[in-house]
Amino acid sequence: MKRVLYSIILLATVLAVAGAEAAWEEEWERVLAAAKREGTVAITGPGGTEARDVLTQPFTKKYGISVEFFGGSGRVLAPRVLTERRAQRFLWDIYVGGSTTALTNLIPAGAFDPLDPTFILPEVKDPKSWRGGAMEILEGRRLFIMTPSQRATIYVNPNMVQIEELKSYKDLLDPKWKGKIVLDDPRKSGPGMATFVFLFLHPELGLDYIRAIARQEPVILKDYRQEVNFVAQGRYPILLGGWNVPAEDLIKKGLPVAIVNPGQLREGSDLSAATGALAVYNKAPHPNAAKVYINWLLSKEGQTMFAQVMNYISARVDVPTDHSPWRVPKPGAIRSYTPEAMAVKSKLLPELEQVFGR
């Protein structure tokens, strides 16, 4: 009797698994066929040719679906998208970009739908595929953190700064650096703001440190490439709060720019999504193509390409990290991409405006 019961249970399990496989495969084929009829997926993404290429070319090659791509910083993207939506022009399917722009501009405007209905492939839906045993999706399941990575915060001209001498953020308070530091504007969304949220939250730094940095009379800029170009040109030896992509572009070209490994800094750095947050716009013009794209981007194949090109660490556990091992998330690191971190801005922004001006 026990053998019969065991056989029945085993058969039922096999049939259930087979049914589940058939169900997702049928859904995938249906969505893929509809996506090919739509023919296009429209994405807003990070600036830079490498980001554009990795987010467009491999997908089109694999599925034959073209990608309309608008790349730019959140400071450019958010006003454009929100202006379009106010005019009832819903042009975009997928958002790939910074968490700050999403959390402070696009989500409050109601621009995104929950992501779960877009997930189809088992390798995407399986919790074991992801760090911590789950997908990290914020704000009503509307913002997925694809690339939680330790963030570079300090960039230098190695001809002007002995990198090994920088052991703490407090070393930037040395009088010799007065008037010689560039900041990415911490009053606007972007890496500068993320850096100052981290500095504010760190128990060994905080508001006193921010005020001390202000007394160093830094030059505040709003253009990521100009900031790092100034360092490469030797106009300023140090950049605090810059973006890694333009810095790494110049490093590849052999120009004098170096990233200070946050592992050598006593206080470390924050854990950031960088420009690796994912969302799906509501009222998307190509909903099926958007589903196919999201499943491709979150697959091992898509994440491996995106992480390596962008020099990020994927949240997938099966994606290699040897391209940038120092970016692998550290346990207990301050996360500057969460809604809780964003809420700190309401306390921090008036202080930043007081010390740096409006």
pLDDT computed for residue 75 by the predictor: 86
Are the CB atoms for 190 and 73 separated by under 8 Å? yes
Tell me: pLDDT of 3 over 90: no
Supply the pLDDT for residue 150: 96
Rg (C-alpha) for the chain, rounded Å, is 22
Give a yes or no: residue 328 inside a domain.
Answer: no
Average pLDDT estimate for 20-38:
93
Does residue 228 lie in a domain region?
yes
Contact indicator for 340, 271 with CB cutoff of 8 Å: no
For residue 213, is it within any domain? yes
Global confidence as pTM = 0.82
Give yes or no: residues 92 and 179 share one domain.
Answer: no
Same domain membership, residue 316 and residue 209: no
- The answer on pLDDT for 16 being more than 70 is no
In percent, how much of the chain has pLDDT > 70? 94
- 270-310 pLDDT, tens digit per residue, is 999 989 999 999 999 999 999 999 999 999 999 999 999 99
Domain range for 190 is 152-269+341-356
| 107, 192: one domain | no
pLDDT tops 70 at residue 356? yes
40 shares a domain with 55: yes
Q: Are residues 229 and 345 in the same domain?
A: yes
Same domain, 186 and 318: no
Question: Could you tell me if 42 and 180 lie in one domain?
Answer: no
Q: Which segment of 17-21, 125-129, 314-318 scores lowest on mean pLDDT?
A: 17-21
Q: Do residue 201 and residue 347 come from a single domain?
A: yes
3-state secondary structure of 230: helix
| Average pLDDT across the chain, whole number | 93
CATH number, residue 33: 3.40.190.10
| pLDDT score of 354 | 94
Same domain, 349 and 293: no
Q: Number of folded domains in the chain?
A: 2
Residue 231 φ/ψ region, left for φ over 0, alpha for ψ in the -120 to 50 degree band, beta for the rest:
alpha
Q: Rounded CA gap, 179 and 169, in Å? A: 16
Tell me if 29 is assigned to some domain.
yes
Q: pLDDT tens digits, residue range 80-102?
A: 999 999 999 999 999 999 998 99
How much is the pLDDT for 175? 98
Give the residue-averaged pLDDT of 328-333: 93
Q: pLDDT tens-digit profile of 152-199?
A: 999 999 999 999 999 999 999 999 999 999 999 999 878 998 899 999
335 within domain boundaries = no
Element (H, E) at 66: strand 66-71
Say yes or no: 191 and 238 in one domain: yes
Do 129 and 95 share a structural domain? yes
Q: How far apart are CA 123 and CA 76, in angstroms?
A: 34
Which pLDDT score, from 0 to 100, does residue 189 have? 79
- Classify the C-alpha dihedral 353-74-200-259 as positive or negative: negative
Classify strands 40-45 and 94-97 as parallel, antiparallel or unpaired.
parallel
In a domain, 332, yes or no: no
Q: On the CB side of 14, how many CA atoms lie within 13 Å of its CA? A: 6
Say yes or no: 167 and 248 in one domain: yes
pLDDT of residue 17: 41
